[in-house]
Chains A and B, each alone.
Chain A
Amino acid sequence: MRVMVLVKATDDSEKGASDPTWMAQMMAAMGRFNDELRNAGVLLMADGLTPSSQGKRIAFDGASRTVIDGPFAETRELVAGFWLWDVKDMDEAVAWVRRCPNPMPGPSEIEIRPLN
């Protein structure tokens, strides 16, 4: 089954500012994690997203389309990065996420959503 694994944004990631030393260490650890995913045949795709200040939303209501510029509030609901994985089941996806290095310096969340 395919799952989308979403790294949720934090105030820091939305500001686009993290301690460079911490970032470098995280990126190195994340690189090793991605290698593991690749060697296990799990990884289909991975990428990071820019802060929501770079994004736009289009609001739909009947015939109307309204473009809303970022940044967006409700930071915890925003996405900072994602993977697409091919796994046997949800348990395997959870086991992989558990061994992911901390994606953010402070508390953060990763969400797993199976694809249809």
Chain B
Amino acid sequence: MTAGETHQAIEAVFRIERARLIAGLVRVVRDVDLAEELAQDALVIALSEWPRTGVPANPGAWLMTAAKRRAIDAIRRGKMRERKHEEIARELDDAFDGAAEAVEAAMDDDVGDELLGLIFTACHPILSADARAALTLRVVGGLTTGEIARAFLSSEATIAQRIVRAKKTIAKAELSYETPRGAERAERLPSVLEVIYLIFNEGYAATAGDDPVRPSLCFEAQRLGRMLAGLAPEDAEVFGLLALMEIQASRLPARIGPDGALVPLPEQDRARWDPLLIRRGLEALARAQALGGDGPYALQAALAACHARARSPADTNWPGIAALYDRLRAVAPSPVVDLNRAIAHSMAFGPEAGLRLADEIADADALRNYAPLPAARGDFLFRAGRLAEARRQFEAAARLTHNVRERAFLLARAEACG
């Protein structure tokens, strides 16, 4: 191996350990920034020692020990800010008093919980959703600020600033960095799931930029979701979210046409859906349902599963989808859910059923300038044979959309009404 290859191999080991290292350190030093710095210091030490000694049998424990030594040195030199130093130094010393194996065993036991605590802290509701996403990708996902900036089509300075501010907010609020228990955990879990799904959707639905899909963000979100499922195996919604992401990601290979445009679900080549991800998604959904999952993510995953199970659009279980939308509307009401519910009912029970439900939401403020609403009404009217009315709806939808391809599609549908 060349020195460069050795270096690369050590960094790969470090990447595996980094999140857990930071999670363990932050419990003691109570400062995300400092924990990150100490982890980085441990990497520098590893890079100088491992080429000589080889990678230790338990690299995680080795790095933790190295980082904690650095922390003690820093405290002794009085470089750490503020109070609590004595207490922290004592805690660190205690950690070295026991036999090395006892320390390792204790660390192994706590490691999952510490990591979960770090995820909950990075996703704390006192932070904005954008700040949570950036901080989670940085400290848990291990992405650099440059990578995060590219993923979110933002500047590196903006992302760096966002992360710095998030860390300051956390320090100021004196968060415990621990995994919340009981009712508090149930209360805070949605903000964790929201961030992971936001990251996923930023990759899947790419709201800006030239590429309609950025799979690397989907990958990061799936990885976080899988991690969370490993760490919190009793939470139905964790598996609901994982199922939803795996099934949606299974369509990524079929989602972009040869011209680079998004291909709508009914027109996708289902042979290109990834069967492994579908299987993983269905397994995660089964787990969510076994845990009693009837939350918004489990229901959305069940919806995605109805499509995943259909071998062709004609095989789609529309009555099942309509029933799921009825339930989703009850647990997570939103005008967009109402609209999709109307579409599902039109597919299951005919265009008149869709029109009836669409009429109920026609005045919703949130849908006032929302192109999909007139587009759906146009489709219902077209299928009901009311062509002149359908044409007016397609034209209205075409005026509302900002997407050039979509406008062309809607105008073509208006034209087809004669």
Q: Is the pairing of A and B real?
A: yes
Q: Are B16 and A41 in contact (CB under 8 A)?
A: no
Report the bound CA distance from A39 to B59 in whole Å: 17
Name B16's contact: one of A35, A38, A84, A92 (CB within 8 Å).
Answer: A92
**A65 beta carbon closer than 8 Å to chain B:** no
Is B8 within 8 A of A44, CB to CB? no
* CB proximity to A under 8 Å, residues B72-122: 112, 115
Check A91–B12 contact: CB distance below 8 A.
yes
CA A69 – CA B15 in complex, angstroms? Answer: 45
Cβ-defined contact, A35 with B12, below 8 A: no
- Contact indicator B115/A39 (Cβ below 8 Å): yes
Contacts of A44 in B (CB 8 A): 276, 280
The closest CB in chain B to the CB of A115 belongs to B276
B25-33, B62-70, B150-158, B225-233: which lies at the A interface?
Answer: B225-233
Residues of A17-56 whose CB lies within 8 A of B: 35, 38-45
The verdict on A59 contacting chain B, using a C-beta distance below 8 Å, is: no
- Between B12, B13, B59, the greatest number of chain A beta carbons within 10 A of the residue's beta carbon is seen for B12
Candidate in A40, A41, A91, A98 with the most chain B CB atoms within 10 angstroms = A41
Q: Tell me the nearest residue of chain A to B225, going by C-beta.
A: A41
Q: Which residue of A lies closest to B115 (CB)?
A: A39
Cβ-defined partner of A95 (8 Å) among B9, B223, B224, B229: B9
- The total of Cβ contacts below 8 Å across the A-B interface reads 51
Contact of A98 among B11, B55, B112, B276 (CB under 8 A): B55
Closest to B227 in A: A41
| Contact (A45, B276) CB under 8 Å given A38-B230, A86-B223, A94-B9 | yes
Within the complex, the shortest CB–CB distance from A86 to chain B, in Å, comes to: 7
**CB within 8 A of A39: which of B8, B15, B227?**
B227
Q: A-side interface residues toward B, CB under 8 Å?
A: 35, 38-45, 84, 86, 88-89, 91-92, 94-96, 98-99
Interface CB pairs A-B, < 8 A, 16: A39-B112, A39-B231, A40-B16, A41-B223, A41-B227, A41-B230, A44-B276, A45-B280, A86-B219, A91-B8, A91-B9, A92-B12, A94-B12, A95-B12, A98-B13, A98-B55
Chain B residues in contact with chain A, CB under 8 A?
8-9, 11-13, 15-16, 55, 59, 112, 115, 219, 222-227, 229-231, 276, 280
